[in-house]
Structure 1
Amino acid sequence: MEITITDIGPSHKSIKISKSVDDVKKDYNSKMAEIKKDAVIPGFRPGKTPQRIIEKRFASAILDEMKRNYLVEGFESLTKKHNIRPLEEPKIDPNQITLDKDQEFVFELEMETHPQIDLKEDDYKGLTAEREDVQISDEELEEVLTQIRERKAEWAPVEGGKSEDKDFLICDVELLCDKDSIYKKEGVNVSVEHPFVAGIHLESKDLIGHSADGTFEKDVTIPEDFEQEDHRGKEAKLSVKVVEIKRTQLPELDDEFAKEMDAENVDDLKEKITAEIKQSKEQQLNAKVEQDLIKQLGENTKIELPESFLQKQVDASIEEQKKKLEREEKSAEEIEKEIDAEKIRSDVENQLREIFLINHIAEQQNIDVSRKEIDDYINQIARYQGGGQWPHQLRKLFEQQGMLDDIYGQLKNQKVLEFLRENAKVEVKQSEKTEKKEEKKSDKKKSDKKSDKADNKKSGSDKKKKDAKKKSKK
């Protein structure tokens, strides 16, 4: 079989797969001999059926099988021998391909392929990047501790105080329209932060500053979805009596609370939270370094992107952004103004370069993802976001939705990015917070030294005065 490859554009090739007429005849006769040997034809002994009868019955099936075999052989040769990998599966209809036993087999097609990347190991090992050091302030620690306490908080009645933002009110509510009571209910739960009363949205300020047993009124417009159609759109008066005010009560930050959080005491809890914050910040900084490295590699590596494939991705990205803006109820004019086709194309080009680079490095370094790694990832999702589903149920769902390939790609990409970072020269620089801390320490040291000098000077001066007094007395 002969394969002829011609470049007709960036990562765009014309492929010609051919088989000589002698090879076609040889293959055809070989297949025919096999069938003739085993075919059972009424009226003839096995192997004695005339050639013309065998051909009449089996020629079409033989030629169809030969076409399929030639195509398979041709594409295997493309990928394995010529290292040509199509970006998309070629759409080929064998019925549109002709094959005659007395003619050369020729099949031609065009395809866009994965770009050829001239990148050696030394080109992506030893890249340089910078990142800040990890610093955790007392304020950050206190903020996380408060968030944890808020999750454990309980609602408690407020005695003698007034309602505030984030409180919860128990109210008796009445809605009057044309002096008639059209809605009346006692013990209604109302959030000050998201006030919704009798089907009417209020503002938080309407519910702030009220005492228990206090009453307030507000003129409102009855909404169009009010249950009584006759009153929809009319002006009405909403009367609200605050029966009780409830406010979240945070648990004390003590050793007992720490033990509930699987810590030995408050100090141990703070250490554990500090470690978690540090780990989270490390992950964020590492992710930024990884993005910087792959971006740096993309900018410095020549990659010819296939135009048709690139345009498909650009069109898909534009369409996705249009749908997003439509969901936000933007007008056609606003959508046209907001969509920057040039920027989208540039972003897509960068994304594709990075994807091709990641795949290239993964191949060179034999970076792959095992089934166990995929299962571990699904187990994590099931544990934290699974909505009560078992890992095997989640895996089956992902499989049905065709998401396993996406998970594989995501994990492989992450492993390549981690490989780049682990083999890079990353300089850790002091953050602004650290620099300010160091400046404060330095200023304090200088201040302390000046104070010490002043004290020593004063001490020396006092000593001289005492000595002078002693001499004058003598």
Structure 2
Amino acid sequence: MSSRDFSNDLFSINIEENAGCVVSAKVQANPLVTQKCHKEALKTVKKNVVLPGFRKGKAPDNIVESRYSTQMEQELRRLFLRASFEALSQMCDRKPLSPKAVRSSAIDTCNPVNGGSVSFLYEAFPVIPSLPWEQLSLPDPEPVKEISEEDLENGLKNVAYFFATKTPVTRPSQEGDFISLSLYVSKRGDENSTPVAIFENKYFKISEEDMTDSFKARFLNVSTGHRVEEEIGSEDIQSFLNGDLLTFTVNAVIEISSPEMDDEKARQLQAESLEDLKKKLRIQLENQAKEAQHQKRFSDAEDALAQLIDFDLPESLLQEREELLSREKLLNARLVKYCSDSELEEQKQALLEEAKADARKAVKLLFLTQKVFSEKGLSISREELQYMMDVCSRERFGGYPPKDISNEMIQELVLVARDRLTYRKAIEAISSEKKDLEVVPS
């Protein structure tokens, strides 16, 4: 724990710093501050009262203070608390993460004549030391994957699905079929429990590439209408889903028959011939390979930056991200990888440790990328910001955002878009040549 002081003509602040970026602060204000707050409080209360013989807002100050002492006290304390928080945010180098990061605030004293004091307990922005760029360990870029004839043939098979005949069948499902599944969760034995859809009419291909072995075994050789009920033994999953019974329903078994690609079909896809389609497909696959290489380089840069330096992180952000990732990993294991309850229990500790490590990495990168963005002098253009806002808007509202979108929502979209661009640009700077990362310490 360390203690430090900050002061100006109006305020004096003492802070004590604790682990988890938790800071306790004592803000002392001189009488000029409380006098100003008292004057503003009086003005606010006067505007809202009407006394016999006086126009609204024109009653004498002493009468208003006498008759509306409770309202005056409440407004004075509100204004004084706000002024103290603003002083804390502006004067102290351990600023609160946000108003929501304040765990508690208490007005110890507040008097127009004698001044006042407020005690705060809050989470602050972390202190990040200078980044030791010379220690950055970033592997050399991997070569772009070459597109093989097998890759091209597999690509053509996927294109052929566009022309495939999709026939619902009554026979049991076979390897290579598609099945339409719905999954509901409910509370076993509860007559008032209404099943809740986890997904409906979702299509799965019965194959080793697209299904885990246990999931595939459940839905191979089953017919339309087949139902699988499965009790959830894991208390974690029960809590996440608010239920203990999973019900899978096979809505349809669909046989796929894909034709051989030829010149005629290629022309329907805006190609001159089958050979021309192959050339275009190769270009598409090469572009995908380049993007995969870029994503791998991006991921390597994230790892390198996260490992570059350690520092204390905000406790609540870390806990919030860890809880989110733990939930995702456990649900993914149970509902996507289709682990049994016993398999999930065996994997649980490893998954939770993985979530803890991933959470720490994510929160570290949140703050490190902001530091890199600042140190490197990076910038965001209006066009980039507008594009990213459009992306965020589509994610939030779909293709048609509401016409009466509020200013508050617009500000939220701006902040989210700016955060994403800041993160991306900082990581892309890391993924460039190491020699380009040398910066003058601020």
TM bracket (short chain): 0.5 to 0.7
CA gap 1:376/1:251 in 2 versus in 1, 3 angstroms = same
Structure 1 gap ranges (5+): 156-167, 171-187, 197-203, 205-219, 226-244, 427-474
CA gap 1:77/1:275 in 2 versus in 1, 3 angstroms = farther
Contact 1:298 1:354 in 2 (8 A): yes
Question: Is the counterpart of residue 373 in structure 1 residue 372 in structure 2?
Answer: no
Aligned residue in 1 for 2:426: 416
Aligned residue in 2 for 1:109: 120
Question: Is the counterpart of residue 148 in structure 1 residue 159 in structure 2?
Answer: yes
Cα distance, 1:106 vs structure 2? 1.0
Contact 1:127 1:425 in 2 (8 A): no
Question: Is the counterpart of residue 272 in structure 1 residue 283 in structure 2?
Answer: no
Q: Identity rate of aligned residues, in percent?
A: 21
SS of alignment partner, residue 3 of structure 1: strand
Aligned residue in 2 for 1:235: none
TM-score, scaled to structure 2: 0.61
Cα distance, 1:357 vs structure 2? 1.0
Q: How many residues align?
A: 345
Contact 1:258 1:264 in 2 (8 A): yes
SS of alignment partner, residue 110 of structure 2: coil
Q: Over aligned residue pairs, what C-alpha RMSD do you find? A: 4.9
Cα distance, 1:144 vs structure 2? 0.9
Cα distance, 1:151 vs structure 2? 2.6
Contact 1:169 1:190 in 2 (8 A): no
Aligned residue in 2 for 1:217: none
| Distance in structure 2 (CA, Å) of the matches to 1:56 and 1:280 | 75
Aligned residue in 2 for 1:470: none
Counterpart amino acid of 1:392? P
Residue of 306, 314, 317 corresponding to 1:298: 306
Aligned residue in 2 for 1:258: 266
1:304-350 CA-partner distances (Å, limit 9, x unpaired): 12345434443444355455556557447952652234443233222
1:23-77 CA-partner distances (Å, limit 9, x unpaired): 4246536865998899975357999976642321344434433333333333333
Aligned residue in 1 for 2:87: 77
**Superposition pairs of residues 288-367 of structure 1, within 5 angstroms:** 288-324=296-332, 330-331=340-341, 334-335=344-345, 338-340=348-350, 341-364=352-375, 365=377, 367=379
SS of alignment partner, residue 125 of structure 2: coil
Contact 2:27 2:118 in 1 (8 A): yes
| Distance in structure 2 (CA, Å) of the matches to 1:113 and 1:409 | 18
1:410-460 CA-partner distances (Å, limit 9, x unpaired): 45433332333345569xxxxxxxxxxxxxxxxxxxxxxxxxxxxxxxxxx
CA gap 1:84/1:139 in 2 versus in 1, 3 angstroms = same
1:119-144 CA-partner distances (Å, limit 9, x unpaired): 46x93999744122222222212221
Aligned residue in 2 for 1:139: 150
1:357-401 CA-partner distances (Å, limit 9, x unpaired): 12333344454585521354269879xxx9xx63436997xx79x
| Distance in structure 1 (CA, Å) of the matches to 2:54 and 2:78 | 31
SS of alignment partner, residue 131 of structure 1: coil
| Distance in structure 2 (CA, Å) of the matches to 1:107 and 1:292 | 46
Counterpart amino acid of 2:401? H
Cα distance, 1:116 vs structure 2? 1.6
Question: Is the counterpart of residue 390 in structure 1 residue 404 in structure 2?
Answer: no
CA gap 1:405/1:275 in 2 versus in 1, 3 angstroms = same
SS of alignment partner, residue 392 of structure 1: coil
CA gap 1:346/1:39 in 2 versus in 1, 3 angstroms = closer
CA gap 1:10/1:145 in 2 versus in 1, 3 angstroms = same
CA gap 1:141/1:334 in 2 versus in 1, 3 angstroms = closer
**Superposition pairs of residues 117-196 of structure 1, within 5 angstroms:** 117-119=128-130, 123=133, 128-134=138-144, 135-154=146-165, 192-193=174-175, 194=177
Contact 1:12 1:306 in 2 (8 A): yes
Contact 1:87 1:113 in 2 (8 A): yes
CA gap 1:42/1:195 in 2 versus in 1, 3 angstroms = closer
Contact 2:108 2:119 in 1 (8 A): no
Question: Is the counterpart of residue 61 in structure 1 residue 71 in structure 2?
Answer: yes
Cα distance, 1:108 vs structure 2? 0.8
Counterpart amino acid of 1:268? D
Cα distance, 1:281 vs structure 2? 1.2
Cα distance, 1:355 vs structure 2? 1.8
Question: Is the counterpart of residue 86 in structure 1 residue 65 in structure 2?
Answer: no
| Distance in structure 2 (CA, Å) of the matches to 1:249 and 1:192 | 19
Structure 1 residues 106-115 or 66-75, which shifts more?
A: 66-75
| Distance in structure 2 (CA, Å) of the matches to 1:246 and 1:279 | 29
Query: Could you say which structure has the larger radius of gyration?
Result: 1
Choose between structure 1 and 2 for higher RCO, CA contacts under 8 A separated by at least 6 residues: 1
SS of alignment partner, residue 15 of structure 1: strand
CA gap 1:247/1:283 in 2 versus in 1, 3 angstroms = closer
| Distance in structure 1 (CA, Å) of the matches to 2:119 and 2:433 | 44
Cα distance, 1:82 vs structure 2? 3.0
Counterpart amino acid of 1:304? D
Aligned residue in 2 for 1:282: 290
Contact 1:169 1:192 in 2 (8 A): no
| Distance in structure 1 (CA, Å) of the matches to 2:119 and 2:290 | 53
SS of alignment partner, residue 81 of structure 2: helix
Contact 2:138 2:304 in 1 (8 A): no
| Distance in structure 1 (CA, Å) of the matches to 2:45 and 2:344 | 69
Contact 1:2 1:19 in 2 (8 A): yes
SS of alignment partner, residue 401 of structure 2: helix
| Distance in structure 1 (CA, Å) of the matches to 2:259 and 2:58 | 98
Aligned residue in 1 for 2:185: none
Counterpart amino acid of 2:287? Q
1:187-228 CA-partner distances (Å, limit 9, x unpaired): x577644599xxxxxxx9xxxxxxxxxxxxxxx9xx997xxx
| Distance in structure 2 (CA, Å) of the matches to 1:379 and 1:265 | 40
Contact 1:318 1:344 in 2 (8 A): yes
